[in-house]
Amino acid sequence: MKEALKEIQRILKNLGLYLGVIDGVIGWASYDAVVQLSEGKGKNKQAIKEIQQILADQRVYFGAIDGDFGNGSMTAFNQLMPAPKLSDANLQAIYKNCAPGFAQYINQHVADFNIKTKADLFAFTANVLHESEGFKKLRENMNYRAPTLYRVFKKYFPSEAAAQKAINAGVVALADIVYGGRMGNGKNNGDGFRYRGGGLIHLTGRNNYTLCSAGIGLGAALVNDPDMLTKPEYAVKAACWFWRSNACSRIANQGDFEQVCRVVNGGSNGLEERKALYKKLWTSIF
């Protein structure tokens, strides 16, 4: 497998897309070169055919050798790079003041949810680091300032003044405004606050808590005690469940990191930090 990766690096180097060492170790420079190749829109067809043949020889690609480096080719390339093990130390080097005690659970559970490639693991880790602010924010606190609340939940507030009025009513009432009556939550009954964002990926809504609780083998425990998502193991498993339930692995393995972020966030909030974390993971962990 390493020799196959070396051959791919040689092809990328001959195209001028990769300037690094031919060592079979795929870091950010090599990976970004492959992404650039996939975005070439009809360019370098012969080189792509050579890479497709390498992937076919490794029995990870079963499509046409046609010089079109699409989703199938990119997914096959990513199959050559199994997910590495993480450690608290390398995560803390990537995200300053990252809370310890989570790497062991990520290592323990990701494969159970079919997160098995380097690209997939790094996409997952970049997003959960951002969403949880380095594994430190495991419940959404609803302590918004008016400008932020108005920007994030603009559809619920006609002005910053209206947002401030909602803030003044308290966090439970505020959560009922923005989350009540949807995602399986009741209206004006505390469900909005009870099932606010939780875990590494900020799982939200009674429906998600119900499905996730069953999906990670806890029966109805998360519904009855949503604060269980502040425990590292359940915080990790809930994020893995979300990732699998929303087909994030398929998108990550196709090389579309930005689309994965949109699935997680529902938009582009924090996209630049997510991208920076993704690059750091590729640069730092092999």
* Residue partners of 26: CB distance under 8 A and separation at least 6: 5, 80, 81, 118
Q: Is residue 54 scored above 90 in pLDDT?
A: yes
pLDDT of residue 112: 97
Contact between residue 5 and residue 26 where contact means Cβ atoms under 8 Å apart: yes
Q: Is residue 172 scored above 90 in pLDDT?
A: yes
* Cα–Cα distance measured from residue 3 to residue 203, given in angstroms and rounded to the nearest whole number: 41
Q: Give the chain's mean pLDDT.
A: 96
What is the Cβ-side half-sphere exposure of residue 26, based on CA atoms within 13 angstroms?
A: 27
Q: How does 55-68 read in b/e, with b if 16+ C-beta sit within 10 Å?
A: bbebebbeeeeebb
* Cα–Cα distance measured from residue 233 to residue 237, given in angstroms and rounded to the nearest whole number: 6
* Residue partners of 133: CB distance under 8 A and separation at least 6: none
End-to-end CA distance of the chain: 15
Give pLDDT tens digits for 216-268.
999 999 999 999 999 999 999 999 999 999 999 999 999 999 999 999 988 88
| CATH dotted code for 82-140+197-286 | 1.10.530.10
Q: Is residue 143 scored above 90 in pLDDT?
A: yes
pLDDT of residue 95: 97
pLDDT of residue 62: 97
The domain segmentation of the chain, as residue ranges, is: 2-79, 82-140+197-286
User: Which of 57, 78, 79, 55 is CA-nearest to residue 67?
Assistant: 55
pLDDT of residue 229: 98
* Residue partners of 180: CB distance under 8 A and separation at least 6: 186, 187, 188, 189, 191, 192
- Can you tell me the mean pLDDT for 91-110? 97
Contact between residue 102 and residue 135 where contact means Cβ atoms under 8 Å apart: yes
- Can you tell me the mean pLDDT for 269-274? 93
- Can you tell me the mean pLDDT for 158-176? 97
Give pLDDT tens digits for 181-203.
999 999 999 999 999 999 999 99
